[in-house]
């Protein structure tokens, strides 16, 4: 038990898939897991452990933002001996040549966040995902015929970004193709504890043109991302 997770240690498995939204965690468990049980429910972050095609896996929501992800990933790696976390989520994109519904495998996460500096006196502004996990996901994507692009993304503390110039700077300076809000602390904590983490994103918003995926399309595309994450888990 930790301040934020009430599960018994053995009830959290070595591989954890983390959506941001507790409702999406519930959906993943209902739709894809066999014999699952709820293993933690602190603050409504309902956590499910079960099997996907006989492989044990835990589905735990991380909430929104670097700070929330920082807490859960720290506790999972340090106190629950979790080895691998795959974050699944949605993102807004900064460039024209991504389409709504595209999947992105996150190579690295640029952030203005002080998370790594305060946590560990680490001043790096880009945290990288794990190459071993990424190769498995890329391989799996080919096997199951789901296209995925790779890139650096911006991990922001701000959802309502209104400075258009700054988005251009982020693309020009760091090659940030899209924006989400959690990967920076996840990748930092994974490196700190010598563990593995990566993130798969579905593009649901274009932050330059204002385009948005309709809710039906959103569910279909998010489903592709979840299948890719779960099928990748089978190969770990
Ligand atoms: N910003 C940050 N995170 C997001 C967005 C966004 O526009 N869309 C989906 N996740």
- Return the number of other C-beta atoms located less than 10 Å from residue 33's C-beta: 20
**176 half-sphere exposure, CB direction, 13 A CA radius:** 27
Compute the distance between CA of residue 70 and CA of residue 206 in angstroms, rounded to an integer. Answer: 26
Take residue 160 and report the two structure tokens written for it.
């309502």
Report, as an integer, the average pLDDT of 1-23. Answer: 98
Q: Is 2 inside any structural domain?
A: no
Q: CATH number, domain at 121?
A: 3.40.50.1580
Q: Is 14 helix (H, G, I), strand (E, B) or coil?
A: coil
Predicted local distance difference test score (pLDDT) of residue 215 = 85
Q: Is 3 inside any structural domain?
A: no
Q: List alpha helices for the chain, DSSP H.
A: 22-32, 66-79, 115-120, 131-143, 164-174, 183-192, 215-233
Atom of ligand 1 nearest to the CA of 89: 10
% pLDDT > 90, the chain: 94
Q: Is 192 inside any structural domain?
A: yes
**CB of residue 213 inside a 6 A radius of ligand 1:** no
How far away, in angstroms, is 155 Cα from ligand 1 center? 9
**CB of residue 111 inside a 6 A radius of ligand 1:** no
Q: Is 23 inside any structural domain?
A: yes
Backbone angles phi, psi at 133, to 5 degrees: -60, -40
Residue 182 has pLDDT above 90, yes or no: yes
Predicted local distance difference test score (pLDDT) of residue 97 = 86
Report, as an integer, the average pLDDT of 187-216. Answer: 95
Q: Which domain holds residue 35?
A: 9-233
- Return the number of other C-beta atoms located less than 10 Å from residue 128's C-beta: 19
DSSP annotation of 20 reads S
Give the closest residue to 45 by CA, choosing from 59, 34, 27: 59
8 Å CB contact between 96 and 208: yes
The total domain count for the chain is: 1
- The overall average pLDDT reported for the chain is 97
Q: Is 107 inside any structural domain?
A: yes
How far away, in angstroms, is 38 Cα from ligand 1 center? 28
Residue 96 has pLDDT above 90, yes or no: no
DSSP annotation of 43 reads G
Q: Is 186 inside any structural domain?
A: yes
Residue 219 has pLDDT above 90, yes or no: no
Q: Is 4 inside any structural domain?
A: no
29-68 pLDDT, tens digit per residue, is: 999 999 999 999 999 999 999 999 999 999 999 999 999 9
How far away, in angstroms, is 10 Cα from ligand 1 center? 34
Take residue 226 and report the two structure tokens written for it.
């979840």
Q: Per-residue DSSP letters for 136-187?
A: HHHHHHHHTT---EEEEEEE-S-SS---HHHHHHHHHHH-EEEEESSHHHHH
């Amino acid at each position: 038990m930790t301040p934020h997770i009430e599960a018994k240690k053995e009830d959290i498995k070595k591989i954890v898939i983390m959506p941001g939204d507790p409702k999406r965690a519930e959906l993943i468990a209902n739709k894809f897991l066999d014999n699952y049980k709820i293993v933690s429910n602190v603050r409504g972050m309902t956590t499910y452990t079960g099997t996907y095609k006989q492989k044990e896996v835990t589905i735990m929501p991380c909430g929104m933002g670097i700070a929330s992800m920082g807490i859960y990933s720290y506790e999972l790696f340090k106190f629950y001996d979790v080895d691998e976390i795959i974050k699944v989520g949605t993102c807004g994109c900064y460039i024209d040549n991504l389409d709504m519904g595209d999947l992105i495998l996150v190579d690295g996460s640029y952030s203005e966040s002080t998370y790594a500096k305060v946590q560990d006196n680490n001043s790096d502004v880009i945290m990288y995902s794990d190459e071993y996990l990424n190769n498995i996901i890329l391989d799996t994507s080919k096997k199951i015929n789901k296209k995925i692009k790779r890139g650096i993304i911006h991990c922001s503390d701000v959802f309502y970004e209104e400075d258009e110039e700054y988005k251009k700077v982020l693309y020009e300076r760091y090659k940030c193709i899209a924006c989400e809000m959690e990967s920076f602390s996840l990748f930092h904590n994974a490196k700190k504890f010598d563990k593995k983490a990566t993130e798969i994103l579905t593009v649901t918003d274009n932050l330059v043109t204002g385009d948005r995926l309709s809710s039906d399309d959103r569910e279909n595309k998010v489903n592709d991302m979840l299948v890719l994450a779960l099928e990748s888990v089978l190969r770990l």
